């Protein structure tokens, strides 16, 4: 069901839970979910052909291994793939923030 149908058939509370329910989590609960999702994405990236080409054989198993690549480059002399080397300096996208109390009205206006 797309958002337009959901807005017509679901209650405001159901829409809130689906799209904004994460706001009711504690910071620890939220961060645990984010780390799990990041680990899942790294796993998927490491298994696909494009990810293997992008990572050039340096396949991290989780976020911690991904972060340790620079330290490993220093210790082993094996270069980090150029696509990953400057990742921290790249421009951030999706930096907008909506206050929690304004979320429901924002979603309802879509």
Position 5 pLDDT exceeds 80: yes
Q: How much is the average pLDDT of 75-88? A: 74
Contact 61, 42 (CB under 8 A): yes
* pTM exceeding the 0.85 threshold for the entire prediction: no
Q: How much is the average pLDDT of 33-61? A: 79
99-110 tens-digit pLDDT: 778 888 888 887
Position 25 pLDDT exceeds 80: yes
Distance in angstroms (rounded) separating the CA atoms of residues 42 and 53: 14
Closest CA to 73 of 89, 84, 62, 63: 84
Provide the pLDDT for residue 1: 76
């Amino acid at each position: 069901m797309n958002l337009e149908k959901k807005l017509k058939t679901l209650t405001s509370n159901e829409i809130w839970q689906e799209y904004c329910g994460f706001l009711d989590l504690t910071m620890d609960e939220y961060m645990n979910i984010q780390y799990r999702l990041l680990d899942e994405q790294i796993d998927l990236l490491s298994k696909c052909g494009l990810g293997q080409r992008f990572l050039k054989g340096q396949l991290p198993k989780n976020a911690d291994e991904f972060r340790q690549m620079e330290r490993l480059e220093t210790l082993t002399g094996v270069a980090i793939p150029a696509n990953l080397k400057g990742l921290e300096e790249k421009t951030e996208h999706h930096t907008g923030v909506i206050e929690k109390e304004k979320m429901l009205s924002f979603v309802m206006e879509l």
